[in-house]
Amino acid sequence: MDKDHPFVVDEDKVSTAEGQVNIASAAYQRMPSSLRSLSDEDMKQLNKKIVRKVDLFVLPTIGILYILNYVDRQNLAAAKLQGIMEDLNMSTQQFATAVSILFVGYLPFQIPSNLLITKIARPGMYICLAVVVWGCISAATAAVQTYTQLLVVRAILGAAEAVFFPGAIYYLSAWYTKVELGKRIAGLYIAQQVGNAFGGLFAAAILQLDGAHHIAGWQWLFIIEGSATVGIGVVCALIMPEFPHNSRILTPLERDLAVYRIESEAGAAEGTENESVIRGFIKALSDPKLLLLIFANMLSQTQGSIANYFPTLVSSLNFGETLSLVLTAPPYILAAGVYYVVMWYSDSRNTVYPLILLCVAITVVMYIIPMTTLNVGARYFSMMILPFGSVGPQLLLYKTISLHLARPVSKRAAASALVNAIGGTANIWASYLYYAPPQFFAAFGTLMGAGILLAVTMSVYRWLVLRENRRLDSGDPEEIAKVVKGGVTEEMVALGWRYEMY
């Protein structure tokens, strides 16, 4: 390591300590002149200061917004327990359509939104504006009087919410290095689980207002939670920073290092790249790895669809409405803790593949339990485990997307949106699987099959990226050209970049 420049290391001396950047000596050429005079200790301290600032401003803000995103998306499941089906004269199949139609609006709008966010100077403001819009739409759900009106509002809600999740994943990858990103994605999913856990508890409390001022409990649910989203979205717009190169929370010197931290891993970062949105989108579509990741995420989202019906699954244990909502909280609280441990291990050991296989193995067993026994204790035990086991692979997949499809930045943004949008189509048809309680054979049988197929798909993906690494290691120009054709930029090759974690 260069004593004057601690971010410049030999290719064979790789550190996995958080806050350090692993780069080849070629990256020194990208170092701004403002950083070259800094000592080893100065660089380390400045880097730690940047990470602390970003953790303080970015993570809590994104986390709070994701809680709102999930609460507003899932509150229809809680409303089901308080009579919305009866008030709107819905059948079980119609309710499933009302759940799934959100994704009809949600999925297609993710791709153009994520392509747009790469060219917006203030992505934080853009995301928060979407939060305010979907909060208004969610609150307006209280005014629906027919099944048709509910479908229209839910489809529009999905379109407004499409901005957030792929945008948040892309936004985090613009700030954090590869040894930092996993735990921050875990933080996003932990917020999701907090939303799931306390969403049920809040719903249980709000539904006690049933009949107050001649307003049904499910209507109060949409009014209160939607209004809270609008207010919090406005506040977060004042807090949320932008990209590293133009962030208001960093000094000019800190901005230089914040950009260099990202560029030194894979090349040009946000604000320093001239690749067009359309070219980035085409490059994403032409990358064979993306197709496998889309399919893998579709299988993972199939397993994750359990969240859409979790209150229904718990109520199949024959608990009362309020107790069923309360009992949805412990599994999500457990999932939040497990997510952090899994992603901490992934970052520290630079691994993903075995963790995906472990999650699949756990969920396959947990799907068998509710299909084979009516014992309440055994069934609730499986429901304690399923949220983290079924959704866990998604965290690892999004980390893979951000690091394996890193450049150009428009390609990374397109890839995140494509994987989430196309993979998320599973939520549309999976909604029709949750019938015939208490054993839900169709749902749990399908989810188990999806888990097994996910393990096979990721094994094929692992073979593919290891083959690409062998080509990069060969030093043969013809073999390296094949890798470049498969999606790696020449700048990444010069930096000694490799597919990791598999």
- DSSP label at residue 26: G
- Is residue 13 one of the residues assigned to a domain? no
User: Looking at the domain assignment, is residue 1 inside a domain?
Assistant: no
pLDDT for position 19:
44
Higher-confidence position of 495 and 196 = 495
d(CA 24, CA 264): 8
Question: By residue range, what is the domain housing residue 203?
Answer: 25-494
Range of lowest pLDDT (64-73, 183-192, 238-247, 309-318): 309-318
Find out whether 437 and 453 touch, Cβ atoms under 8 Å: no
| Mean pLDDT, residues 126-130 | 92
d(CA 409, CA 280): 7
- 129-180 residue pLDDT tens: 999 999 999 999 999 999 999 999 999 999 999 899 888 888 888 888 878 8
- Tell me how far apart the alpha carbons of residues 56 and 184 are, in angstroms, rounded to a whole number: 12
CA angle 158, 161, 162 (to 5 degrees): 85
The percentage of the chain sitting over the pLDDT mark of 70, rounded to a whole number, equals 89
CB 47 within 8 A of CB 264: no
Question: How is the chain split among helix, strand and coil, in percent rounded to 5?
Answer: 75, 0, 25
- Given this model, what pLDDT does residue 16 score? 44
Residue with tokens 């100065």: 42
pLDDT at residue 366 in the model: 92
Q: State the Cα–Cα distance between residues 154 and 163, nearest whole angstrom.
A: 15
Q: What is the pLDDT of residue 198?
A: 73
* Of the candidate ranges 228-232, 340-344, 449-453, the one whose mean pLDDT is the lowest: 340-344
Q: Measuring CA to CA, which residue among 202, 453, 497, 468 is closest to residue 322?
A: 202
Distance from the Cα of residue 2 to its chain's centroid: 37
Rounded average pLDDT over 466-477: 91
Residue 6 inside a domain? The answer is no
Give 21's pLDDT tier (boundaries 50, 70, 90): very low
On whether residue 78 sits in a domain, the answer given is yes
CA distance 68 to 192: 9
- Tell me the Cα Rg of the chain: 23
pLDDT, position 277? 67
Looking from the CA of 497 toward its CB, the CA atoms found within 13 Å total 27
- Tokens encoding 95: 């309710």
Q: Which of 214, 228, 30, 237 is nearest to 126 (CA)?
A: 237
DSSP-derived letter for residue 498 is -
- What share of the chain has pLDDT > 90, as a percent? 25
Among candidate residues 45, 9, 1, the one with its CA nearest the CA of residue 265: 9
- Residue 3 maps to a domain: no
Q: What is the pLDDT of residue 132?
A: 95
Instruction: State the pLDDT at residue 28.
Output: 53
Tell me the three state secondary structure of residue 280.
helix
pLDDT per residue as tens digits for the range 384-441:
898 888 888 988 998 898 888 766 777 777 787 888 888 878 877 887 887 888 888 9
- C-alpha to C-alpha distance for 413 and 105, rounded to whole angstroms: 19
> What pLDDT digit, counting tens, does each position of 287-299 carry?
888 889 999 999 9
In a domain, 502, yes or no: no
Host H or E run for residue 499: none
Residue 215, both tokens? 């307003």
Q: What is the pLDDT of residue 231?
A: 95
Task: Provide the domain count of the chain.
Answer: 1
3-state DSSP call for residue 250?
coil
Stronger pLDDT, 316 or 254, i.e. the higher one = 254
Q: Report the 10 Å Cβ neighbour count for 473.
A: 11
Q: What is the average pLDDT value for the chain, to the nearest integer?
A: 82
Q: What is the mean pLDDT of residues 448-458?
A: 95
Give the pTM.
0.71
- How far apart are the C-alpha atoms of 58 and 176, rounded to whole Å? 11
The pLDDT tens digits for 189-238 are 788 777 766 766 777 788 788 778 888 888 998 999 899 999 999 999 88
Helix (H/G/I), strand (E/B), else coil: 351: strand
Position 177 scores a pLDDT of 82
**Contact assessment for residue 319 and residue 438, using Cβ atoms and an 8 Å cutoff:** no
pLDDT tens for 243-271 read: 888 888 888 898 888 888 887 765 554 44
Q: Please, where are the H alpha helices in 286-438? A: 288-304, 310-315, 321-327, 329-349, 353-372, 376-404, 409-423, 426-430
The CATH code of the domain that includes 404 is 1.20.1250.20
Q: Can you tell me whether residue 2 is helix, strand or coil? A: strand
In a domain, 213, yes or no: yes
Q: Is residue 18 over pLDDT 60?
A: no
pLDDT band at 15 (very low <50, low <70, confident <90, very high): very low
Only one residue has tokens 């600032």, namely 53
